[in-house]
Structure 1
Amino acid sequence: MTGLRAPQSMALVVGLVASVLLIGVLLIVGGWSSGPLASVVTNTDNVMIELSVVAAVAAALTARSARGRVRVAWVIVSIGLVLFTLGAVLWRIYKLIGYKHPYPSLADAAYLVLPITTAIALLLLSAGLSRTSRTRLILDGLIVAGSFTIVGWALVLDELWNSVPKDRMHVAVSVSYPVMDAAVLTIGVLVVARAQRGQRLTLILLTLGMLGIAISDGAFVYLTATHQRTSTQLLDIGWLVGLALFIAAAITGRGFAHRETVAAQPFSLTSVWLPFIPVLLASLAIFTESPAEIKSGPIPMIGVVLLLAFGGRQLLVMFENRILLATVAEQALRDPLTGVGNRIVFRDRLNHAMEMRERDGISVSVLVMDLDDFKVVNDTLGHPVGDELLSLVADRIAACLRAGDTVARLGGDEFAVLIEGRVDNSQLVAHRVVEAFDEPFIVDGQDLLIRPSVGLAVAEPDEPDLTAADLLKRADIAMYSAKRSRTGGVHPFNSEMLLAESPDSELFSTGPLPVSRSGASTIRLLGELRQAIDQFELTLVYQPKFDLNTAAIVGVEALVRWPHPKRGLLAPDEFLPLVRRYGLMGSITDLVVNTALDDVLRWRAEGLTVPIAVNMFAPSMADLRLPGKFAKSLASRNISPSQLTVEITEDLFLDNMDRTKTVLNQLQDNGIRIAIDDFGSGYSALSYMRDLIVDEVKLDRNFIAPIPADRRAAAVVRAVLNLADELGLTTVAEGIENAGTADWLRQQGCHIGQGYYFSPPLTSKKLIEILKKCENDGTCQTLGCSIRGGTFRWVDSDVPQIELMR
């Protein structure tokens, strides 16, 4: 068989065995057993040895290909079959040498091992059973075996017992066969009743194999007890069929789907009524015996064993029922999808914690989080993926908590954590939970980067009347504030949040995420973006800013680009919506600021001093840590704060205005300039000019584009320039694309201009070249433009500047 694969070789063996077995049975039944060939084929002793050898080899091969408990089970079965083979060989030898009394003998000891090993194998192969359940199965088998022993004794074996008082070992061995077979069959039936998909066929074949052997064993004992001839070949058919079924069970056992975990099983009526029927039959059989007959036999001893086994079995049933009730009670307090606590248990523990706070003064904190844009996952990848993601999220949150903390799923994609102890501990746990989302989740073979909006509320010592419901509501409000800001991190509750609009208001709806191609594509792009940020793959280009009166370069604006490996160079509008939507703005800001300041160091090494401006997402300005981070970055590079301008993107609302003012004041106190970017593109531009102390205003490209053709637009821009001049603000015009617009802005008092008319964004290396030429020439004419006669003119040609740079 070396040239055959294992399944093919096993199939060949099965075919040969089945053929030999079928021919042998037909010849036995038909009585055609004459002749040398027929003698070899139909001699049941030879066929039994052959089949038992094949069965032992098949079981050993299955054990070799299996793992864990399945391997142990088939090793034990193979041992039982090897001993059965040894018994068959001994029995054949006894016949060949003419041994007069071959029963009972060592062959019977070898035969009786197979039921024991089969019972052990069935218990090992059973799925979803605890130790208690397996013990109950053994007791059920013992009860059935004892009951049938009493029945058999009352019907047949008592006469045999009394007829041979000097050879009662003969009777004991005879009784052992049906008793052990009954026990194994009981275990087999109960195991099959609880079998799961992928297991039932193998377990059925093992049980049927044992049934075939049990039938022949029972017939042999009956014939022996009634002093009838036991040499008939029809008696051997049960053993042969049983061995053939053991071979089939070994073959199907190669695909046995075993599950190690203990799982809840469906209710089985068989496991309830099966032990009671044999006990009832045994009770009826006892009534057919006289008191003297009962006392003279083993019925009293068997009855005591039966009573103890039945009592032990019922105690185990009570114990299992108790565990089941406890499990049901626990599951009622757990979320069925994620396994963490549900809303009921969370509220109960929160109420208890608040009571302990009132009594012992312990600190209580509640963290509420909601997954940003979880609906995108459900809508694009399907609800099964969403469910798996929620389970992974719950596991990751639980891994961040301390012993005694409670995590619960409140519903949908919203989770809550109860933290007891010092306030700094609650903040530590909260930040640990947020940081756990830095790594993507691997679901359905895809990397999904999901960010949470996290709100934290702490029960302060000076609020003794604060209730559990109020604390949970505060955490919920803080979470919605985090969701609106999209800045990531932990958002602690403060009293200002109570003045905000309802979280359900449409005012704060961020709207659907603009998805190109498909939601799944967006999710994949998000994972790639996170990786690009972590590996510093994003790059910066710099667009020069020109003094409109002298044409001198007075600074540069840092613009982020993403050199995507497959999609090419992506502009900000192609990935910044993802950055804002998924709370990556903090990471992007850190990368841009540090990269830009590193480039400032390189320019300084070349003898160039160039002020630089970086863009900030407006809600990020509410982060009180921001001034310290900027100050640290500047100080570590020995760069003057006056060289840095922070441009606040004005296309969205500024949240937490009071905190924003605090941050801006600290930045300006440190010497950093503040600019309102994209002025005219949002809703609150004038209020920003009124409420915020800033240094400059940058007019949006769409705000100034209509100037040459629209008198009303020109009048509005002129008014804004005059207003900025009244407030002492520097004005910068973005997106200048022609000389007429640049000339008009200069005449109206605009200070600085930038756009493709002057220069496209440049790499750091190219910018150094341009700046050196400007420094050497004393002008900026290398960029293609100059001021002559009070107007802008092209130096080299009338070709647009972007063409000249190429």
Structure 2
Amino acid sequence: MPMVGRVGAVATVATLAFCVWLLGGWGSEDFRIAFEDNVFVVLSLFATGCAAHTAFRCRGRQRISAAFIAIGLAGWTVGSVLWAYYEWFLKVSPFPSAADIAYLMLPLSICIGLLIAPVGASGYTYTRLTLDGFIVTAAFFQIGWLTILGGLFEAGGASRFAVGVALAYPIADLLALTVAMLLLGRAPAPHRTPLTLLTVGMALMTIADSIFVYMNSHNDFRLTGYSSVGWALGLLLIALAGLCTGVPQQRVAGERSFSQVAMWLPYVPIVIAIGAAVARFGTTPGMPPALIASVLLIMLVLLRQFIVVAENRRLLAAVAAQAMSDPLTGLANRALFQDRLEHALALHRRDNRQSVAVLSLDLDDFKLVNDGLGHPAGDQLLVQVAARTLARARSSDTVARIGGDEFVVLMEGDDVASREVAREVLRAFDEPFVVDGHDLLLRPSAGLAMVSADDAEVSPELLLKQADMAMYAAKRSRTPGVHTFSPADVSVADAPERDRTALAYDSTVAYKLLGQLRHAIDNQELTLAYQPKFALGDGSIVGVEALVRWPHPDRGLLAPDQFLQLVRDHGLMRPITELVFAKALDQIAQWRDLGLLVPVAVNVFAPSLSDSTLPETVGRALRRRGLPHELLTIEITEDLLLGNTEGAREVIKRLRQSGVRVAIDDFGSGYSALSYLRELYVDELKLDRAFVTTVLVDKRAAAILRAVIDLANELGLTTVAEGVEDPETAALLRDYGCQVAQGYLYTAPLTPAAMLSLLRSSRQAPDEAISS
């Protein structure tokens, strides 16, 4: 606050000028007394106002603490007023007097206020803090008594009551100073500046009061100027401590509880006090051996205490490390990750120069491993995942396990470097994990959220939530690689956590099938069947659709609906799509070599349309086999296009420009069909079998189907009816204007050899096949 800074600066300059005047001794004695007394009244009022202002701004225990300090300063103000009255009006300097009672309120009130102050580690109890304060004070008093004070007291001069009052000053000051030093040694960063000012201020007050004791004991007041300087500077620093005290901040997890100084401080004066006692009485004739043994016993007890304290600190450090780490994997846990994330964002806000990124990982198949192989196997898998992730991350990154199979990585620095680390972490999952003799190939869903150097302030909770939303978006879209958060991912947060909970298989069976399916994909064991597409006008074959089949060693030949759930739930759509695509193009090439140019339709995983390199990949595959682009039709399932329209538009455009045809499969099965016709330029609509099979008995379905066909014809699109099983349906579709049909009315899906035989028997001319 600028005003507080200006007030503190003015007070500092004025006080320093006053101290120079005190040491210079300028002016007459009457003027010096009057001016000094009045300045101390003003200075103490200023310090009281600062403490009261702090109490007004703060809340809770910090307000009570500041209030006690304000009360002590108010007492010092009353003492200054009384002393000015004695010296200025009554022309006397009585000691002891009522002013001394008011002065002594300051160290005692500060001591109470510091004991109430909400700073430092909660485990360091206030009882222990109070005892430490009394121990240090008593030790210093013994040192002073054995060296100087005892002799002064025995020498007389002043009354014992006067000497006792004089001694009360340094004793009370030492108690307050000790408590302040102990608190300073274990205070968190936001409290250290005001506590440092308060501690130094109390040290100056202690020195000034000690000079005061000496002057009253010797009736030698030549050092009065120095004691006044100590009081003035002490009051100034206490006032500045109040000015710079802010609203208390929440303590950061993992911050040190107290320092080495705070730990050992209470023992140092005890050792010195024992040494002073030995020096004082060691040469006394006839010292009993029991006294020597007592001193030795105390030293041994202190030594043992030092060893115990050191061991306790090591144990506390070990416990603290365990509390901030995951017991299974040894990675950071949620608490430590949250602490590191808060610190990284604090640096980001302060420096505004480095980005902060959070990568969220979730193992897609972990539940099946737990259910199929047992929880010990799941734990082994998590340990291996942790080790691989940690090995791929940088030493400056924080890798944490925050849930059962959920891992996060905190990265600071350059955006590009963070993205590369995220990709590198995902590459760690390319090799299978070996658990109980089983090779498990797991794929995580990965979401990345970033705060770049020029981004607005983002809270730790929001950044972690964005990473989670990006991860769930990747899981929902089944997109391989790292999905970076975008505002469109917010809607994913409202989606079910995992669709795989609807898995129709028993978990143990599903786990076994999943492993077998992965093996079949890796070893190219999946095969293709081909269902011909017939022109409704003349019944000629105008193309075929490639359909994947799984020759299972125990269950026989499985159709897609028998394993598609596993494929979708566990991120296998992409490798299966690539396998089907390669085999279908090879089959087209074989038929081409036999003189048959047959258009083939291949289903492509819809999120692949977000890959801008797809047109080039398809083009290279066709050119490598010497195939015309027009022979390939890419079919995208409509219900999987939801949310990908924007990214798909450009990819579809480039595919069609190269000559590849694009079709929307299962048209009408989703909820945004008409919007696709408006936003996506395609060549073909494949009408969902749910409409086709009921067209003869459901007037509403017939009306919708006819309207869609009319609309497609108006847009120049080819319509293909799936699931045609009887001549009546085929005739009705022909009347509606549908051009192509496929279904069991014509033939079931055929093996490549049977399909070749059908093509030859149809004697289809190459030009006719292409032109269709």
Instruction: Map Cα deviations across residues 720-775 of structure 1 (whole Å, 9 max, x no partner).
Output: 21121122211001122222222222222111111222222223333333323333
Q: Does 1:690 align with 2:678?
A: yes
The alignment partner of 1:682 has SS state of: coil
Aligned partner of 1:626: which letter? L
The alignment partner of 2:491 has SS state of: coil
| Map of 1:719 onto structure 2 | 707
Gaps of 5+ in 2: 1-299
The verdict on how the C-alpha distance between 1:720 and 1:332 changes in structure 2, with shifts beyond 3 A counting, is same
Partner of residue 343 from structure 1, selected from 324, 334, 342: 334
| Map of 1:741 onto structure 2 | 729
Q: How far apart, CA to CA, are the structure 2 residues paired with 1:658 and 1:582? A: 25
| Map of 2:380 onto structure 1 | 388
Q: How does 1:270-419 map to 2 (within 5 A)?
A: 321-357=312-348, 359=351, 361-372=353-364, 374-379=366-371, 381-419=373-411
The Cα of 1:568 is off from its aligned counterpart by 1.5
Q: Does 1:512 align with 2:501?
A: yes
| Map of 2:418 onto structure 1 | 426
| Map of 2:538 onto structure 1 | 550
The Cα of 1:671 is off from its aligned counterpart by 2.7
Instruction: Map Cα deviations across residues 321-367 of structure 1 (whole Å, 9 max, x no partner).
Output: 55433322211211122211111221222233334445272343211
Q: Does 1:503 align with 2:493?
A: yes
Aligned partner of 1:441: which letter? F
The Cα of 1:581 is off from its aligned counterpart by 0.6
Instruction: Map Cα deviations across residues 449-496 of structure 1 (whole Å, 9 max, x no partner).
Output: 433211012222331534444432321221121122122321012233
| Map of 1:559 onto structure 2 | 547
Q: How far apart, CA to CA, are the structure 2 residues paired with 1:416 and 1:753? A: 50
In the superposition, the TM-score normalised over structure 2's length comes to 0.56
Partner of residue 581 from structure 1, selected from 550, 569, 575: 569
The alignment partner of 1:750 has SS state of: coil
Q: How far apart, CA to CA, are the structure 1 residues paired with 2:498 and 2:435? A: 28
Contact 1:680 1:700 in 2 (8 A): yes
Aligned length, in residue pairs: 470
The Cα of 1:694 is off from its aligned counterpart by 1.7
The Cα of 1:375 is off from its aligned counterpart by 3.9
Contact 1:449 1:526 in 2 (8 A): no
Aligned partner of 2:609: which letter? M
Q: How far apart, CA to CA, are the structure 2 residues paired with 1:469 and 1:361? A: 21
Contact 1:378 1:386 in 2 (8 A): yes
The Cα of 1:313 is off from its aligned counterpart by 11
Aligned partner of 1:501: which letter? S
Instruction: Map Cα deviations across residues 53-94 of structure 1 (whole Å, 9 max, x no partner).
Output: xxxxxxxxxxxxxxxxxxxxxxxxxxxxxxxxxxxxxxxxxx
Contact 2:686 2:719 in 1 (8 A): yes
Contact 1:448 1:523 in 2 (8 A): no
Contact 1:681 1:703 in 2 (8 A): no
Q: Does 1:474 align with 2:463?
A: no
Report the identity percentage.
Answer: 54
| Map of 2:24 onto structure 1 | none
Contact 2:473 2:492 in 1 (8 A): no
| Map of 1:491 onto structure 2 | 483
Instruction: Map Cα deviations across residues 33-54 of structure 1 (whole Å, 9 max, x no partner).
Output: xxxxxxxxxxxxxxxxxxxxxx
The alignment partner of 2:335 has SS state of: helix
| Map of 1:153 onto structure 2 | none
The Cα of 1:447 is off from its aligned counterpart by 4.3
| Map of 2:647 onto structure 1 | 659
| Map of 2:253 onto structure 1 | none
The Cα of 1:379 is off from its aligned counterpart by 5.0
The alignment partner of 2:763 has SS state of: helix
Instruction: Map Cα deviations across residues 558-613 of structure 1 (whole Å, 9 max, x no partner).
Output: 11111122222111111111111111111111111122112222222222211111
Aligned partner of 1:492: which letter? T
The verdict on how the C-alpha distance between 1:509 and 1:397 changes in structure 2, with shifts beyond 3 A counting, is closer
The alignment partner of 1:411 has SS state of: coil
Aligned partner of 1:329: which letter? A
Aligned partner of 1:348: which letter? D
Q: How far apart, CA to CA, are the structure 2 residues paired with 1:640 and 1:490? A: 34
Q: How far apart, CA to CA, are the structure 1 residues paired with 2:621 and 2:301? A: 78
Contact 2:597 2:766 in 1 (8 A): no
Q: How far apart, CA to CA, are the structure 1 residues paired with 2:465 and 2:689? A: 43
Q: How far apart, CA to CA, are the structure 1 residues paired with 2:632 and 2:303? A: 82
Q: How far apart, CA to CA, are the structure 2 residues paired with 1:462 and 1:779? A: 59
Q: How far apart, CA to CA, are the structure 2 residues paired with 1:667 and 1:720? A: 24
Aligned partner of 2:577: which letter? T
Aligned partner of 2:491: which letter? E
Contact 1:480 1:503 in 2 (8 A): yes
Aligned partner of 2:666: which letter? D
Gaps of 5+ in 1: 1-308, 781-806
Aligned partner of 1:649: which letter? T
The Cα of 1:535 is off from its aligned counterpart by 1.5
Q: How far apart, CA to CA, are the structure 1 residues paired with 2:567 and 2:613? A: 20
The Cα of 1:311 is off from its aligned counterpart by 13
Aligned partner of 1:751: which letter? Q
Contact 1:488 1:584 in 2 (8 A): no
Q: How does 1:635-784 map to 2 (within 5 A)?
A: 635-652=623-640, 654-775=642-763
Instruction: Map Cα deviations across residues 425-445 of structure 1 (whole Å, 9 max, x no partner).
Output: 322222232233344434345
The Cα of 1:647 is off from its aligned counterpart by 0.9
The Cα of 1:543 is off from its aligned counterpart by 1.2
Aligned partner of 2:341: which letter? L
Q: How far apart, CA to CA, are the structure 2 residues paired with 1:557 and 1:414? A: 40
The verdict on how the C-alpha distance between 1:343 and 1:768 changes in structure 2, with shifts beyond 3 A counting, is same
In the superposition, the TM-score normalised over structure 1's length comes to 0.54
The verdict on how the C-alpha distance between 1:774 and 1:406 changes in structure 2, with shifts beyond 3 A counting, is same
